[in-house]
Amino acid sequence: MTTEAPHNALLPTLVRASAGTGKTYQLTARLLRVLLQDSAPETILATTFTRKAAGEILNRVLEVLAKAGEDDDPEALQALREQVGISTLQHQTCRQLLHRLVRNIHRLRICTLDSLFTQLARSFPFELRLPPAWRLTDEIEEVWIQEKAIQRVVSTLNPSEMTTMLTMLGKGEIKRSIQRELMQVVDTAYGIHRRCPPDAWNKMVAPRRPEQADQTRAVGDFRSASPKQETVLAKLQLLADATETGDFKSLVDETLIRNIAKARRTHTEVKFGRSKLPDGLDDALDTVYAAVRTELIGLLSAQNEATGTILTAYDFHVNAIKQVGRVLSFEDVAVRLSKLFSAIDYDTLVNRMDGAIDHLLLDEFQDTSPAQWQVLRPLAVRACDRDAVAKDGAEWQSSRSFFCVGDTKQAIYGWRGGVAEIFDAVTDQIDGIAESEQNMSFRSSPDIMDFVNVVFSNLARHPMVREGDPKDPADKSAHEAAAIHRFAQRFPQHEANKKTLKGFVQIRTSSKVEKGDKDANDAACFQDAADLISEIAADAPDKTVGVLTRTNAAVAELITLLESRDVEVSQEGGNPLTDSAAVVTVLSALMMAEHPGDGRWRFHVEPTLLAADRSLDADSIRRRVEQRGIAETVQSLCETLAPLCGPRDTLRLKQLTHLAIGYENNPQPRLRDFVRLVQEKRVERPQRAQVRVMTVHQAKGLEFDAVVLPQLDGPLTRSSGNCVSDAKSLSQPAQAITRYIGQDHWHFLDKKWQFAFGNQGASAMTEALCLLYVATTRAKQALYLVIQPSKKKEFHLKTAASLIYHAVGCEEDPTQPNEVMHESGTPIWFGDADKERVKEVPAKTVKIQFRHATSETTDVPEDLSEL
């Protein structure tokens, strides 16, 4: 090709692209630039987060080239010229490139990271010690393998060892369910454990307990003290009794112990409530605090040691099971590759991959995990290598290129290993990368963008941002407040490209349940949300409606409510087939055959299945399974029930049959395992309805004409049961790991660990804000937020609803039910602008101009700004 590209067209670039600003457009443009400069398809690698996104990018490339190659379509050619920045591009060039791509479509790598890593693993089977003819597991099979490995761990320990181990795991307490306890340990800690050195769990060392003489002296001081207040006297006697008997564990949660830590940090006197303690007790208080600290750190150290031992044993058994079964998970592949790529040279990688990767394009990079970045980093370093200079001495241009696009405001996959900070670290770890920002939304109306600007620029209006002591690294509230400050200060002002697109935003309270519990208030909120969604669907039948929740349970509940209102609804990501009574009946029939002596199953199927076919019983179903297999048996049971079912249940029965056909290919298929598969595997309904209900995580990358958010009243963050790690950098394995302890006990930790725990708390708060950002930016024209009435007018809760209420500056009474707290824009946003002249609603209760939103955030507290 002879087309000339701009001089700096392929400089290494990192793009921070906000929601709806055209990340896919930019990635496609970069890919087309690379191809138009005669780069061979096999030298290009573009990675995305989902297979859908990968297919979309490839489709766009082919469609754009096909349209621009038409001689009678100059507009398409001009659009492509503007997209790639090549003003001399011709129709013939586009046709030539399209033909070359079609012939070499198998060489163009546009794939997910999981797919890429699978390809890389097959190139290094011996180095990675992969079993022959290995395959990937799904999430259901992975859980089964975990349980089998845990059973082996339990069987290898004798009863006394198991009792000791469980006591250590529970910090002195034995849990009722051994299997559940060990599964929780695996779920929360194994992902970090497998990338760390063997001694990482042994870095939490308990300090020495005070000498016995000091303890005896402290007891005497407490006994001889004569405070005026009886409550203080009782508390000192409690300290004396615990010190005398060595029962320091009972003092771990005592308020006075926390007050001692606070007084020592702030150099003030120790108080109990408002009461002062008698003089002369400083040494005794320090002694008892040191003893309690030794007790808690000792228990935590023992728990860490037991966790490391259990996980080491689990790692051995789970790898043995997978080796024999010749299976691996995606995470297994990523971890093995990360260890290999930390020491491999690039020439070896090129030989194994049968070609060099000169052009690397990374999409949704904020969701990359440390293990994944360890694999991608050598490819990125080479793609940014400026030593690739033309022979004539011309400046480095296009022989290699690097392009990375993402948005840390949309980093919502921390629970899956994603670390948004890696996106910020790319420019630090690789030299010569130019950064750019995109904040012009091509999705949302100006009213939606104005609302988003106001909310996220004014997060610091919420009272919780002023909570906590910034000078105390053990204060979780201070870390969370600092995270909110940072998010608000770094938030860029968004603009809407579609200036004339009508939009509408409304915040309203739901019905109030007098003296109702949380479940009752949730149910009332969902009922009102379902009514609202039904109205929107009826008023705007040609508009799509997205209903976004935080939990899968809320998805199922809202679908049931909408179906009862005759609203056509579908679900993203799917639910287990057990949401159908007909499917549950078939499963009960299979369990009846598996356990004929258990009358529960027969009692369940008797009114329906047995009533429809009296020849069915446990023996006949079992014989049918043995003679014809599970799939044919399930199909016959479904055919028996189908005439009694409606369209929804009939569809689910068909999906159950397909699931059974696929399951029967497994070696040694068993009825109870199939039943469990059906109970756990999510299956999506095939139809795409006007109203779609899903979690916010499932909505990532999607857009809707209207979005309804009915679940904004839960806590922004929840108590973490995960482990906490201490690593030198994001791309390196942690050097030390510990199990999590509650924030009331952070004052016992060393400062290094206090900051580690605080960073985790700040990350959880940041991810909660990212989740809220993703939810509010899915809407094109309308956004409806349904919140529960507050119990108090101050509305100082740590919830998304309260956060938005304060950020927007609402003045309405939040305790009132069925009240509009705020609305702006055009209520009839779905109407025809030429036919209907609807007066826009001014921004109710908002004191600042939406189009010129200003921030009220203050500086991040100096002591926590380095977190």
Model pLDDT for residues 452-504, shown as the tens digit of each residue:
999 999 999 999 998 888 889 999 999 999 999 999 999 999 999 999 999 99
DSSP 303-340: HHHHHHHHHHHHHHHHHHHHHHHTEE-HHHHHHHHHHH
Give the whole-angstrom CA distance, residue 252 versus residue 258: 9
If pLDDT is split at 50, 70 and 90, which confidence band does 293 have?
very high
Q: Which of 104, 105, 108, 115 is nearest to 48 (CA)?
A: 115
Would you call 155 exposed, middle or buried from its count of C-beta atoms within 10 A (0-12, 13-18, 19+)? exposed
If pLDDT is split at 50, 70 and 90, which confidence band does 685 have?
confident
- Predicted confidence (pLDDT) at residue 849 exceeds the cutoff of 80: no
If pLDDT is split at 50, 70 and 90, which confidence band does 176 have?
low
Residues 6+ apart with CB under 8 A from 261: 289, 474, 747, 748
Indicate the annotated binding residues. 17-24
Most confident of 482-491, 574-583, 827-836: 482-491
Residue ranges of E strands in 103-170: 109-112, 135-136
Most confident of 48-52, 69-73, 125-129, 532-536: 532-536
Query: Strand, helix or coil at 747?
Result: helix
If pLDDT is split at 50, 70 and 90, which confidence band does 348 have?
confident
If pLDDT is split at 50, 70 and 90, which confidence band does 862 have?
very low
Indicate the annotated binding residues for ATP. 17-24
On whether the CB atoms of residues 214 and 182 are closer than 8 A, the answer is no
Residues written for the chain: 867
Residue ranges of E strands in 433-526: 434-438, 440-441, 495-496, 504-509
pLDDT at residue 516, as a whole number: 66
If pLDDT is split at 50, 70 and 90, which confidence band does 613 have?
confident
Give the whole-angstrom CA distance, residue 565 versus residue 558: 11
pLDDT at residue 398, as a whole number: 52
Instruction: Show contacts of 342-348: CB within 8 Å, 24+ apart.
Output: 342/374, 344/378, 346/378, 346/382
Range in 179-183, 264-268, 312-316, 747-751 the model is least confident about:
179-183
Q: For 796-807, what is each residue's pLDDT tens digit?
A: 999 999 999 999
Residue, of 165 and 527, whose pLDDT is higher = 527
On whether the CB atoms of residues 796 and 464 are closer than 8 A, the answer is yes
CA dihedral 271, 272, 276, 282 (to 10 degrees): -60
If pLDDT is split at 50, 70 and 90, which confidence band does 850 have?
very low
Integer angstrom CA distances of residue 540 from 562, 692, 780, 782, 805: 16, 14, 14, 11, 28
Residues 6+ apart with CB under 8 A from 448: 496, 503, 505, 776, 777, 779, 780, 781, 782, 783
Backbone angles phi, psi at 434, to 5 degrees: -90, 140
Q: For 218-262, what is each residue's pLDDT tens digit?
A: 999 999 998 888 899 999 999 999 999 999 999 999 999 999 999
pLDDT at residue 609, as a whole number: 79
What is the CB neighbour count within 10 angstroms for residue 627? 9
Place of tokens 């402290």: 218
Q: For 138-155, what is each residue's pLDDT tens digit?
A: 888 888 899 899 989 888
Q: Which of 343, 354, 357, 353 is nearest to 403 (CA)?
A: 357
On whether the CB atoms of residues 439 and 21 are closer than 8 A, the answer is yes
- Predicted confidence (pLDDT) at residue 540 exceeds the cutoff of 90: yes
pLDDT at residue 798, as a whole number: 93
Structure tokens at 859: 């500086």
What percent of the chain stands above pLDDT 70? 90
| Domains of the chain, first to last | 13-125+332-438 (3.40.50.300), 135-325 (no CATH), 441-574+687-717+757-867 (3.40.50.300), 577-683 (no CATH)
Average pLDDT, the chain: 86
Q: Which of 56, 69, 68, 66 is nearest to 25 (CA)?
A: 56
Using N-to-C axis directions, what is the helix angle for 74-84 and 23-36, rounded to 10°? 90
- The pTM of this model reads 0.87
- Predicted confidence (pLDDT) at residue 137 exceeds the cutoff of 90: no
- Predicted confidence (pLDDT) at residue 98 exceeds the cutoff of 50: yes
Place of tokens 């009240």: 819
pLDDT at residue 184, as a whole number: 83
On whether the CB atoms of residues 583 and 638 are closer than 8 A, the answer is no
CA neighbours closer than 13 Å in the CB half-sphere of residue 550 = 20
On whether the CB atoms of residues 94 and 80 are closer than 8 A, the answer is yes
Q: For 652-676, what is each residue's pLDDT tens digit?
A: 999 999 999 988 776 666 788 889 8
- Report which residue type is found at 539: D
Give the whole-angstrom CA distance, residue 669 versus residue 673: 7
- Predicted confidence (pLDDT) at residue 289 exceeds the cutoff of 90: yes
Give the whole-angstrom CA distance, residue 629 versus residue 622: 10
What percent of the chain stands above pLDDT 90? 49
Q: What is the mean pLDDT of residues 33-54?
A: 89
Give the whole-angstrom CA distance, residue 321 versus residue 672: 20
